[in-house]
Structure 1
Amino acid sequence: MSGNKAVAYIEPGVVEVQTIAYPDLELHDGPGVDPRNVGRKCRHGAILKVLATNICGSDQHMVRGRTTAPADLVLGHEITGEVIETGPDVEFVNEGDVVSVPFNIACGRCRNCKERKTHICLNVNPARPGSAYGYVDMGGWVGGQAEYVMVPYADFNLLRFPDREQALDKLLDLAMLADIFPTGYHGCVSAGVGPGSSVYIAGAGPVGLAAAHSAQLLGAAVVIVGDLNEKRLAQARSFGCETVDLTRGSPQDQIEDLLGEPEVDAAVDAVGFEAKGHGKDSDEAPATVLNSLMEVARAGGALGIPGLYVTEDPRGVDADAQTGSLKLRLGLGWAKAHSFTTGQCPVMKYNRELSMAILNGRAQIAKAVNAQVLPLEDAPHGYAEFDKGASTKYVLDPHGAFDRFSTAL
Structure 2
Amino acid sequence: MSGNKAVAYKGPGVVEVIDVDYPTFELKDGPGVNPANVGRKVPHGVILRTVATNICGSDQHMVRGRTTAPTDLVLGHEITGEVVEVGSDVEFIKVGDICSVPFNISCGRCRNCKERKTGICLNVNPDRPGSAYGYVDMGGWVGGQAEYVLVPYADWNLLKFPDRDQALEKMLDLTMLSDIFPTGFHGAVTAGVTVGSTVYIAGAGPVGLAAATSAHLLGAAVVIVGDMNADRLAQARTFGCETIDLSQGDPGSQIEQLLGIPEVDCAVDAVGFEAKGHGHGAGEAPATVLNSLMDITAAGGAMGIPGLYVTGDPGGIDAAAQKGALSLSLGTGWAKSLSFTTGQCPVMKYNRGLMMAILHDKVSIAKNVNAKAISLLDAPRGYAEFDAGAATKYVLNPNGYLN
1:191 aligned to 2:191? yes
* Residue in structure 2 matched with residue 271 of structure 1 by the alignment: 271
* Residue in structure 2 matched with residue 394 of structure 1 by the alignment: 394
Question: Could you tell me how far apart the structure 2 residues matched to 1:281 and 1:26 are?
Answer: 49
Secondary structure of residue in 1 paired with 2:4: strand
Question: Could you tell me how far apart the structure 2 residues matched to 1:389 and 1:162 are?
Answer: 36
CA shift for structure 1 position 213 = 0.3
CA shift for structure 1 position 4 = 0.1
CA shift for structure 1 position 93 = 0.2
Question: Could you tell me how far apart the structure 1 residues matched to 2:192 and 2:221 are?
Answer: 13
CA shift for structure 1 position 127 = 0.3
Secondary structure of residue in 2 paired with 1:331: helix
Question: Could you tell me how far apart the structure 1 residues matched to 2:143 and 2:131 are?
Answer: 12
* Residue in structure 2 matched with residue 360 of structure 1 by the alignment: 360
Aligned partner letter, 1:190:
T
Q: Which runs of 4+ in 1 moved over 2 A?
A: none
Deviations 1:270-323 (A, max 9, x none): 000000000111100000000000001000000000000000000100000000
* Residue in structure 1 matched with residue 54 of structure 2 by the alignment: 54
Task: Please show how residues 58-69 of structure 1 align to structure 2 within 5 Å.
Answer: 58-69=58-69
1:254 aligned to 2:254? yes
Question: Could you tell me how far apart the structure 1 residues matched to 2:62 and 2:47 are?
Answer: 26
* Residue in structure 2 matched with residue 8 of structure 1 by the alignment: 8
Secondary structure of residue in 1 paired with 2:225: strand
* Residue in structure 1 matched with residue 131 of structure 2 by the alignment: 131
Aligned partner letter, 2:314:
P
Question: Could you tell me how far apart the structure 2 residues matched to 1:111 and 1:280 are?
Answer: 48
* Residue in structure 1 matched with residue 180 of structure 2 by the alignment: 180
CA shift for structure 1 position 43 = 0.3
* Residue in structure 2 matched with residue 406 of structure 1 by the alignment: none
Question: Could you tell me how far apart the structure 2 residues matched to 1:203 and 1:162 are?
Answer: 34
Secondary structure of residue in 2 paired with 1:70: coil
* Residue in structure 1 matched with residue 25 of structure 2 by the alignment: 25
1:315 aligned to 2:315? yes
Secondary structure of residue in 2 paired with 1:212: helix
CA shift for structure 1 position 18 = 0.2
* Residue in structure 1 matched with residue 164 of structure 2 by the alignment: 164
Task: Please show how residues 328-407 of structure 1 align to structure 2 within 5 Å.
Answer: 328-403=328-403
CA shift for structure 1 position 402 = 1.0
Q: Number of matched residues?
A: 403
Task: Please show how residues 32-181 of structure 1 align to structure 2 within 5 Å.
Answer: 32-181=32-181
Aligned partner letter, 1:143:
G
CA shift for structure 1 position 238 = 0.6
Secondary structure of residue in 2 paired with 1:73: coil
Secondary structure of residue in 2 paired with 1:200: strand
Structural RMSD (CA) = 0.4
CA shift for structure 1 position 2 = 1.0
Question: Could you tell me how far apart the structure 1 residues matched to 2:165 and 2:26 are?
Answer: 31
CA shift for structure 1 position 30 = 0.2
Aligned partner letter, 1:329:
S
Question: Could you tell me how far apart the structure 1 residues matched to 2:345 and 2:2 are?
Answer: 35
Aligned partner letter, 2:296:
V
Secondary structure of residue in 2 paired with 1:319: coil
Question: Could you tell me how far apart the structure 1 residues matched to 2:26 and 2:354 are?
Answer: 31
Question: Could you tell me how far apart the structure 2 residues matched to 1:260 and 1:237 are?
Answer: 20
Identity rate of aligned residues, in percent?
Answer: 75
